[in-house]
Amino acid sequence: MKMVFRWYGEGNDTVTLPQIKQIPGVEGIVWALHDLPAGEVWPLDRILEVRQLADQHGFHIEVVESVNIHEDIKLGLPTRDGYIDNYKKTIENLGKVGVKVICYNFMPVFDWIRTDLFKELEDGSTALFYEKVKVDSMDPMELVGKIAANPDFTMPGWEPARLKHLSRFFEAYKQVTEEDLWNNLQYFLEQIIPVAEINDIKMAVHPDDPPWSIFGLPRIMTSQENIRRLLKLVDSPSNGVTLCSGSLGVNPNNNLPDMVREFADRIPFAHIRNVRLYENGDFIETSHRAADGTVDICGIVKAYHENGFTGYARPDHGRHIWNEQCRPGYGLYDRALGIMYLWGIWDSLERSKQEVTL
């Protein structure tokens, strides 16, 4: 297991590279050019700037999260081919600097949804929270009206740039079914996977967060069955999955350790985090400790260990603790604690393995 840490870049993150350097076992940063809109080519000179910064602190930049996909590709519009060509060029540029994994998602309109960025837990820390009834009762057209009346209106996890075009997006997706989305994903993968293979890069789709339909929009990366279907669309080692225990874990029907065992050779990147799921469908993100949530963190790490996982892993989201002022879900302190918890499980499994062989 190769431990990495997500970093949003100088001037865009309260966490610094020297701080990350002090977390035991972290080999590289997970990064992106966050200021570039989806669909644009990532210039090689910008990519080299990131590598130069990482090199100064002894980090690799082998994992990118995310190269976002333009909405026209997901919608299957005639304009998609131009954006796919740009995506290919970005893959080629990333390959030139040694990138090995590109995490992406195929979620229509919204990458992730929460109703509260700083919900308080019993211990006084705060975390990302999802209130099911609040989302289920939202009328998307009411949101369009609020945005029209107040250009500064925002919602947790919804970028203002996308909110401005919300009405157009909802209209465009009215006729798009899940099967349409599957077809559009297959078309995209058939175009880019050969380029990824040539450049020794693995594409790793992120599951939908949460893994069910929101506002009637189609969502397809939701379950073990659907991941199995994804991997068959283009049967290549370069077509893989970012297995996120937090995203998939809020559906109690998803067996995460079983997914790890089945897809082990097609998981180049692992997001390991915990959530607490409530009976009414609400969920809140917790510490990584297994007892704090409802995700089988120990079973997941054990499954990775048993299958000789040599891919990249990161602690993913964390709580906001010790009054840290940070990007929601991406504080330094709790993610660092999460890494040490994951290493503790891994090291104990390594010790047990050694004792068995003696």
Residues marked as catalytic: 206, 244, 271, 316-317, 330
Angstrom distance (rounded) from CA 337 to CA 274: 13
Query: Would you say 312 and 270 are in contact if contact means Cβ atoms under 8 Å apart?
Result: yes
- Give the Cβ contact number of residue 49 at 10 Å: 14
Per-residue H/E/C for the chain: CEEEEECCCCCCCCCCHHHHHCCCCEEEEEECCCCCCCCCCCCHHHHHHHHHHHHHCCCEEEEEECCCCCHHHHHCCCCHHHHHHHHHHHHHHHHHCCCCEEEECCCCCCCECCCEEEEECCCCCEEEEECHHHHHCCCHHHHHHHHHHCCCCCECCECHHHHCCHHHHHHHHHHCCHHHHHHHHHHHHHHHHHHHHHCCCEEEECCCECCCCCCCCCCCCCCHHHHHHHHHHCCCCCEEEEEEHHHHHCCCCCCHHHHHHHHHHHCCEEECCCEEECCCCCEEECCCCHHHCCCCHHHHHHHHHHCCCCCEEECCCCCECCCCCCCCCCCHHHHHHHHHHHHHHHHHHHHHHHHHHC
Using CB atoms within 10 Å of the CB of residue 307, give its burial: 0 to 12 exposed, 13 to 18 middle, 19+ buried.
Answer: middle
Angstrom distance (rounded) from CA 316 to CA 274: 9
Phi, psi dihedral angles at 130 (to 5 degrees): -125, 120
